[in-house]
Each structure stands twice: as C-alpha cells, then as structure tokens.
Structure 1
Amino acid sequence: MERLWTPAWIARHVAMVVLVVGFLGLGWWQVTRAAGGNTLSFGYAIEWPVFAAFVVFVWWREVRHTLRAAREQATVPAPSAAADAEPAVATPAVRRPVRVSRVPAAPADGVDDGELAAYNRYLSWLNANPGARPGDYPG
C-alpha cells in the first residue's frame, strides 16, 4: 500500500477526486437546467456522471495494476549466488524500432526477368514525364 502514497500517486488521487466532484457537479447543474426547460440538458445530465464513472474506473485499474506489479516483484525469487550463468536480461515493454535497409532482391536463378525490366523502364519513363499519359509511352 505504501506504493500508493508516493508524490505521483498523491497527485493522481487528488486529480481523481477533483475530476469526479467536478463532473458530478456539472451533472447536477445540467439536471437543474433540464428541470428549467432545457431538454438538451437531459443528455448532458447523463453524460457527466458517465465521465465521472470513467475516471473512477481508470483510477481503480491503475491502482490494481500497481498493486499487482508490487505483488509480482515480491514473489519473484532472488537469483542464487551459486549460479555462474549470465543474469537474464528483462525485455523492455516498449522497444525501439529496428531500422532495416531495403535493397532490391536479386532474382533467384541469377537471370533478369525481361518483362520486369521492361515494366521498370516504363515506370521510370512515367516518373520522368509527370504530365504524360500511359499511352504516350514510346517503348
């Protein structure tokens, strides 16, 4: 439970309380407007408490996630000092993307495809002549 009393978590608790009270207050304000004859406010009177419930749901989910992570860390056995193997490196949850250079693949049999070469010449001609139509190709 002490993980939930860090400065970051205290800010989350305060934000949750402020948002829920604010959303419920706005919902009550819409109820009073709806009672005064504004029919559109009936929808908003329902919407604001739903927003408050969503804030409570997200807060509760984060609390459970934090407590579950703390429990899992406590149950992980300590590595034995007798093991001479390299320590296992934990895989990060988010990894950096791998950059791959793309090069054209060589034909499997080593012989160029004549139709493919002609098509590539056609595409190169179209790229070099942006205003041309495909029927203008001289090849």
Structure 2
Amino acid sequence: MKRLWTPAWIARHVAMVVLVVGFLGLGWWQVNRAAEGNTLSFGYAIEWPVFAGFVIFVWWREVRHTLRDRPEVPTSPATPPAAGPEPAADVPGVRRPVRVSRGPAHPVDAPEDGDLAAYNHYLTWLNANPGARPGDYPG
C-alpha cells in the first residue's frame, strides 16, 4: 500500500476526487436547468455522471495495475542465478515477413528500353564514383 502514497499517487488521488466532485456538481447543475425547462440539459444531466464514472474506472484500474506490479525482492542474495540459456524475453517478437519479388521485373526476352538502360548506366556511374556530383556525369 505504500506505493499508493507517493507524491505522484497523492496527486492522482486528489485529481480523481476533484474531477468526480466537479463532474457530479455539473450534473446536478444540469438537472436543475432541466427542471427549469431547458430540455437539452436532460442529456447533459446524464453525461456528467458518466464522465465521473469513467474517471473512477480509470483510477481504479490504475490502482489495481500498480498493486499487481510488485518489484522483485530476492529471497536470498547469496544465491547466484542459475547458469543457462538467455531468457526468452530478450528475443525480439515475431515479425511479418517481407514479400520480395524473386522473378525479373520485366520479361527476359523483351527488348531493353533505351531510357531505362541510360538511367541504369547513370546509377552505375554514380555508385562507382561516390564523391561525384550528378552534374559531373559524362554521359
């Protein structure tokens, strides 16, 4: 329970109380406006308590999450960890395979496009001359 009394958690508790009281107060204000004849306020009279309920839900969920996460306390510090394979947690997750076309992009029997051949020659020259600028291309 000491984990719920840190400065960060005290701020969360205060924020929860302020928000719930504020939302319920706004809901009561809308009930009074609806009683005076403002029909639109009936919807808001329902909406504000729902917001207050949501704040309570999120606060409760965070409290439970914090109480479940217990820091590991070693039972005996003199016991060395067991030698064995690396833990499975270090293994990256399964990734989606990358689909790569294994066949040629154009049919092998087709005549070569002149513009494509010139562009490929230009790219080959740039790759062979890494310090060159594109304006230095002799072609």
Does TM-score exceed 0.5, indicating one fold? Answer: yes
Deviation at 1:3, TM superposition (A): 0.6
Residue identity matched to 1:84:
A
Deviation at 1:89, TM superposition (A): 7.2
Residue identity matched to 1:33:
R
Instruction: Determine which structure has more spread, i.e. the larger CA radius of gyration.
Output: 2
For residues 78 and 88 of structure 1, the distance between their equivalents in structure 2, rounded to whole angstroms, comes to 21
Q: Deviations over 1:75-122 (max 9, x none)?
A: 88779416233663745xxx9xx9xxx896442xxx66429x79xx8x
Residue identity matched to 2:47:
E
- What fraction of aligned residue pairs are identical, expressed as a percent? 63
Residue identity matched to 2:56:
V
Q: Name 1:84's counterpart in structure 2.
A: 83
For residues 49 and 5 of structure 1, the distance between their equivalents in structure 2, rounded to whole angstroms, comes to 27
For residues 75 and 113 of structure 1, the distance between their equivalents in structure 2, rounded to whole angstroms, comes to 63
Gaps of 5+ in 2: 117-139
Q: Deviations over 1:1-59 (max 9, x none)?
A: 11111111111111101100100000010011011110110110011001000100010
1:37 partner SS: coil
For residues 68 and 78 of structure 1, the distance between their equivalents in structure 2, rounded to whole angstroms, comes to 22
Q: Does 1:54 align with 2:47?
A: no
What's the TM-score, normalizing by structure 1? 0.60
2:83 partner SS: coil
Superposition CA RMSD, Å = 3.9
Q: Name 1:127's counterpart in structure 2.
A: none
For residues 36 and 16 of structure 2, the distance between their equivalents in structure 1, rounded to whole angstroms, comes to 30
Q: Name 1:13's counterpart in structure 2.
A: 13
Specify whether residues 81 and 60 from structure 1 end up closer, same or farther in structure 2 by C-alpha distance, changes over 3 A only.
Answer: same
Q: Does 1:114 align with 2:107?
A: yes
- Equivalent runs, 1:1-139 vs 2, <5 Å: 1-70=1-70, 73-74=71-72, 80-81=79-80, 83-85=82-84, 88=87, 90=89, 105-107=101-103, 113-114=106-107
Specify whether residues 61 and 81 from structure 1 end up closer, same or farther in structure 2 by C-alpha distance, changes over 3 A only.
Answer: same
Residues paired across the two proteins, number: 108
Residue identity matched to 2:82:
A
